[in-house]
């Protein structure tokens, strides 16, 4: 996954954490579908997954406002975001429903030669979006508070 994709997914996770109104069933379903598509073929990001995800975000005014704010903050960060600001696999397992925690989704975070990013952000986003209530799941991840503090001036 590239930095633009990672920043988009991180912005969405932070927006979900800050969202005060619950997502409706259609929005939760769209996030789950995006998670399924990302886990099957992340190369479809720019062609299919991202446009559908952005359409879902834009259809929810509150979510879109939070998303745009966080995305602009993430885009202002030069270089990589420190890994200690992201939820760990252990933290994710603790908040994911038991039946979903058992199923591993996404790809092994392997850094290939010449590649700067791993699939950790992708895997985290897939796990969160695939839950029954992605916003509630994101709210339980305290690491996002550290990331928000890092992004805020």
Please give, one letter per residue, the 3-state secondary structure of 90-107. HHHHHHCCHHHHHCCCCC
pLDDT, tens digit only, all 153 positions of the chain: 466 678 899 999 999 999 999 999 999 999 999 999 998 888 888 888 999 999 999 999 999 999 999 999 999 887 778 888 888 888 888 888 765 443 455 554 444 444 445 578 888 888 899 899 999 999 998 888 888 888 886
**Structural domain range at position 91:** 3-151
**CA nearest neighbour of 127 among 88, 72, 79:** 88
Q: How many domains does the chain have?
A: 1
Predicted local confidence at residue 98, as pLDDT: 64
pLDDT on residue 46? 86
The whole-number pLDDT of residue 3 equals 63
Other C-beta atoms within 10 Å of 76: how many? 9
Predicted local confidence at residue 15, as pLDDT: 96
Asked whether the whole model's pTM tops 0.85, one would answer no
Output the six-digit token pair for 29: 């379903």
Predicted local distance difference test score (pLDDT) of residue 115: 43
Distance, CA of 55 to CA of 19 (rounded, Å): 17
Residue 70 is predicted with a pLDDT of 94
Instruction: Give burial (CB, 10 Å; 0-12/13-18/19+) of 35.
Output: buried
Q: Around Cβ 112, how many Cβ atoms within 10 Å? A: 6
């Amino acid at each position: 996954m590239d930095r633009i994709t990672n920043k988009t997914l991180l912005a969405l996770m932070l927006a979900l954490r800050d969202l005060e109104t619950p997502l409706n069933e259609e929005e939760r379903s769209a996030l789950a579908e995006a998670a399924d598509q990302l886990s099957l073929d992340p190369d479809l990001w720019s062609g299919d997954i991202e446009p559908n995800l952005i359409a879902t975000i834009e259809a929810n005014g509150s979510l879109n406002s939070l998303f745009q704010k966080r995305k602009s903050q993430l885009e202002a960060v030069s270089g990589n975001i420190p890994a200690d600001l992201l939820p760990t696999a252990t933290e994710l397992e603790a908040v994911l429903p038991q039946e979903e925690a058992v199923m591993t989704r996404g790809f092994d975070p392997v850094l290939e030669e010449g590649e700067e990013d791993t699939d950790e952000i992708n895997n985290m986003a897939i796990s969160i979006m695939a839950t029954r209530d992605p916003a509630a799941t994101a709210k339980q991840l305290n690491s996002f508070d550290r990331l928000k503090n890092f992004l805020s001036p």
